[in-house]
Structure formats: C-alpha cells, structure tokens
Amino acid sequence: MYRILIADDEGIMLESLKNIISSNYGNECEIHTAKTGRVVVEEAEKYPPDICFMDIQMPGLSGIQAIREIQKFNRSVVFVIITAYDKFNYAKEAVNLGVMEFLTKPVNKKVILETCSKAMEKVDYTRQKRSDDLRIREKLETVVPMIESGYINNILLQDDFQTYQDNYRELLDIREEYGYMIVAEFGDSTENGVDLGVEKPLTGRTWRCGFTTDTLYAAFPHLYFAGHPALAQRFAGIPVDAVYASDLKRTCLTATAIYRQKGLPLHRDARFREVGLGPWEDTPFGELERRYPAQLHAFSHDSYHWYVEGAECFLQYAHRFLAGLDDVVRRHEGQSIAIFSHGMVLRGALIELFFPGQDEGVSHSENTAVTELHWENGSYELISLNDATHLTPELSTLGRQNWWRGSRYLDFNMWYRDAAPEDAPLLAALGCPQTEPGDRVRIAMLRDPPAGMVSTRRLDGDEGALLHLALLPEHRGCGLAAQLLGEAICPLRAGGVKHLRLLRPVTDKGTKRLLATYGITDGCSIVPTEE
C-alpha cells in the first residue's frame, strides 16, 4: 500500500491526477488531496504520505514552502513537483530540497504513471532497506546472547548438541547440510598503523585513508585528530545515554572519549561517514588545487554547487546524514545521544537543517568541536555550533599546525610528480641515497616550485621500504613533512604492502621525530588484518 498526497489549487488538475493514479493502481494506493499549502502540511501530519505530488503556486504557502515544512517532521517523503511555471525559476530550489522529479504542465498520462512507478520503486527500496536492517538487528538481538550462553559450548563439548541442532539452524538461518564454523574475537585495536580502509557509500570503492594512532590521524596527512583527553574531560560530568559513530576507524577512536568512560556500547552507522569523493579519493589536495582549482574552491566555500561525477553531491551526503540522525533520535526519544561524525558531512547536514541555501551559514569546524541540538516533536533546535572551548591552542588544529597561520602556507598542500633526470641536483641537495630501477621517487611540489622529495621501494612478499624523505630548508618546521609520509605509505598500501622497512638508520632529528610521532619503526605493520 502506498499513501499518496496530491496538492493542487486547480480542482480539475487535482481530480485528473487522482483518477489517473487510482485507475491504474487501484487498491495499491490510498490517495489524499489538498488545495492549499497549509492544508497539504496538515494532511501530511495526519496521514504521513509516501509520495507527494506538489503544485508550486497555491494559496497561502507555496509548494516549495510546504515541502520545507513537511521535511521538518518527515524526511522520507518522495516529492514530485508539477507546475505550469517556468521550470528554471524553481529547479535550483527543487534540487536543494531533494525533489525526485520536476514536471511542467501540461503533463500527459504516460509521464504521470512513469513518474508514479519510479516513486513507488524508491519507496519500496527504502522500505526494504528498513526491513532488512530491522530483521538483521532482531536476529542479532536473538542470536548473540544465545551464542554466548550455549552454542559454542554445545559444539565444542558435544553437549546434547543434536537436541538443539534444528533450533540453531533456524535461528542462524543455516541452510547448508555441511560446513565449517570459525569462532573469532576481534579486539578494539589502537596499534600504530591501523588501516582505515572502508567502502564508500556511493561508488563502493575502497578508500585507503592513510594511517593512525590512538591520538593522531593522517589520511590527508596535514590534518590531525587531537584533543581526545580534553574531549573526555569535557563530558566527564555530562549524562550520555547512547553513543553513535561513523564506521570509520578514526571516528570510533575519537568516540572512546565518551563511550568507554560511560560504560556504553558504540553503535557504528555508515550514514555518518564522511563525504564520498569519488575520483578525488586518494588524491592529494595539492593535486586537486592544481587540476581543479574552481571545483576545490567550491568544495570548501560553495557546497551547493560542488559536483564531481562519481562523488556525492551536497544533497546526497546531507540527506544521508539527516536520515541517520532522524532514526537515532526517534530510537532514543527523551535521551541524550552523542554522535561522532566528520567535518564536511556534518557541515552539510547543519546547513540543510538550519540555513538552507546559505553555504556560509556554518563555518568549517575545529577537530572535536561539539554541536548541540535539541529535538522535540519532530523539530530540531540549534543550541550551540562548533564549540571547541575544551581545546587549548596547543591541541587545536590551527594552534598545533603553525603553517596554517601564516599567509605563506595558508591552505597549501603539495602535489607530486615522478623524478626526472634534471632533478639530480635537487635530490643531491636533499640527501637522497642512490636509487635502483623500480624505486618510486616522487618530487613534492608546492604550487610550482619543488619543496621536497620522498622515495620508496617494493621488497619481496608483502614488504616495502621507506628510503628517504626530506624538505628543502626553507620549508622545514612548517607542518608539511607529514604529507610526504602520506605519499609514501598510501601507494605502498594500495599495492598490497603490509610491512614497512627502513633500509638505513635515520640520523636526522626532524625525520626521527616525525616517524616516532606516527609510530613508524623498522618492520612496523602498515596494513592490519582487521579494521
């Protein structure tokens, strides 16, 4: 059954749409109608629709205004706009609201039915996903305690196992007659070199995000995740009933500041992941700045218009986050919830929620900054935004990385090219050791002039070697060296390297300090078996 709401101030159009849909889908649909913007909002509250056909110009609230009001308490509605007015006057607003289709009157029967069928498929997909999630959750709630209490012991000890075999097979949905069982326990590792490989929501591509320790993160390695103890101290006296995080390792590590001290489980939810960048994944920001300067500027300053084919656009990632947020607050109504997410996707969600169409409404946040929302009767209230008062200047991103403060290095990120024969004087000046055929020698470029180099070597099996990295004297001590380390490790990991060797003793104090910061020692693991 699909609940459909049709809104149009023209009685003929209203009845025509109703008759077309009802005559073709019959008992599959429950149809409600409205002739004003106010009434359509009231109907949507009384009879929450799955699909809504909305006219733009209606008495009172316009169709656009009505959609905004409905989305405050129901974000799952599939909207279709039908209007006699010029499409281009409203297309941008419609896109910003996540409208599925924008149809211009007059609309023939075939188009109406095709659009309705498409909307129904979207509703079916959402319902099925929700059902699958609930089924899995229900099965886990049933199965996990049972396994913990008896299943493993029954098997290992052969303690009356046959008596319960049929029950186990039904509960676990085991259909095969024969097979093997593996029992494994996975800990919550914070070892140096933990992999951050995850599958992105839009492309399905695995994103190799660099490396991490329990306090530092280097995916795009000029960014730090600092302030973990300060965050824990901030929430020491604040009641928290549930903790959620994206399923990326770095957010889960940060979340330990709250859920461990509160004795709570951590719920991972992929809807709180960072933006899926598609073809931009694994590309240094310096390379993006060089190849796509306008798009990179839009990424940071004009989110609504940033678009890269294969990546998530603003509405996709903002609505993804908000759908997860709506589910969580309804699941924990009346409770205090902590959600750990990522700067870009969180910024997009807050813009869409409180400052729609105003990209400047929410600034880019400090790492571990806290935004407080109050939810009541299906509506959100913004209490505080990007509060980082728990961080000292030494713990903040801007405070710790001095290169961000000066105009010389403001927002500077390096890009890389392969070394050429004419780079021999530069490599000599940087102390680069003798290389062999097959070594990967990369020149780090800061805009146009060279700034440094990094070289690596593939060894036998799953081992690789960090040969050398260095910056020119004028670029040292500015926070840029971590980018060299990221350029060394990420390609090695992508090529299947699991262990990193240092082929010669490190004598430079600055390099020693850098490697120690990230836990890089001779023979260290850079790709774990499990995230």
Least confident of 269-278, 416-425, 482-491: 482-491
Q: Quick one: pLDDT at residue 168?
A: 58
The yes-or-no verdict on residue 209 having pLDDT over 80 is no
Residue with tokens 């186990």: 168
Beta-carbon-side half-sphere exposure of residue 417 (alpha carbons within 13 Å):
13
Least confident of 96-105, 139-148, 382-391, 485-494: 139-148
Q: Quick one: pLDDT at residue 89?
A: 57
Average pLDDT of the chain is 77
Mean pLDDT (whole number) for 210-235: 50
Least confident of 130-144, 168-182, 196-210, 447-461: 196-210
Least confident of 62-76, 293-307, 421-435: 293-307
pLDDT 10s digits, 461-507: 888 888 999 999 888 876 678 788 888 887 887 788 888 888 777 77
The yes-or-no verdict on residue 214 having pLDDT over 50 is no
E strand map for 16-157: 29-34, 51-54, 78-83, 101-104
Q: Tell me if residue 214 falls in helix, strand or coil.
A: coil
Mean pLDDT (whole number) for 334-362: 88
The yes-or-no verdict on residue 519 having pLDDT over 80 is no
Region for 26 from its dihedrals, namely left if φ exceeds 0, alpha if ψ lies in -120 to 50, beta otherwise: left
Q: Quick one: pLDDT at residue 393?
A: 63
Q: Quick one: pLDDT at residue 335?
A: 92
Q: Which helix (H) or strand (E) holds 32?
A: strand 29-34
Which has more pLDDT, 458 or 480? 458
Mean pLDDT (whole number) for 284-297: 81
Q: Quick one: pLDDT at residue 44?
A: 92
Least confident of 9-23, 62-76, 116-130, 165-179: 165-179
The yes-or-no verdict on residue 118 having pLDDT over 80 is yes
Least confident of 92-101, 390-399, 416-425: 390-399
Q: Quick one: pLDDT at residue 164?
A: 54
401 alpha carbon, distance to own chain's centre: 25
Q: Quick one: pLDDT at residue 172?
A: 55
Q: Quick one: pLDDT at residue 108?
A: 87
Q: Quick one: pLDDT at residue 221?
A: 30
CA proximity to 58, closest of 77, 78, 33: 33
Q: Residue 345 and residue 273: Cα distance in Å, rounded?
A: 7
Domains delineated in the chain: 2-125 (3.40.50.2300), 198-402 (3.40.50.1240), 408-525 (3.40.630.30)
Read off the pLDDT band of 439 (50, 70, 90).
Answer: very high
The yes-or-no verdict on residue 232 having pLDDT over 70 is yes
CB 115 within 8 A of CB 46: no
The yes-or-no verdict on residue 137 having pLDDT over 70 is no
Q: Quick one: pLDDT at residue 186?
A: 40
Which has more pLDDT, 31 or 214? 31
Mean pLDDT (whole number) for 55-72: 87
Least confident of 176-185, 325-334, 507-516: 176-185
Mean pLDDT (whole number) for 369-380: 89
E strand map for 35-100: 51-54, 78-83
CB 41 within 8 A of CB 64: no
Mean pLDDT (whole number) for 104-120: 89
Mean pLDDT (whole number) for 146-175: 55
Q: Quick one: pLDDT at residue 96?
A: 66
Q: Quick one: pLDDT at residue 242?
A: 94
Which has more pLDDT, 522 or 5? 5
Which has more pLDDT, 506 or 37? 37
Least confident of 83-97, 186-200, 414-428: 186-200
Q: Residue 447 and residue 449: Cα distance in Å, rounded?
A: 6
The yes-or-no verdict on residue 52 having pLDDT over 90 is yes
Q: Under 8 Å CB-to-CB from 49, ≥6 apart: which residues?
A: 3, 4, 5, 32, 43, 74, 77
CB 470 within 8 A of CB 430: yes
The yes-or-no verdict on residue 1 having pLDDT over 80 is yes
Q: Quick one: pLDDT at residue 531?
A: 33
Torsion, CA 331, CA 332, CA 338, CA 344, rounded to 10: 30
The yes-or-no verdict on residue 323 having pLDDT over 90 is yes
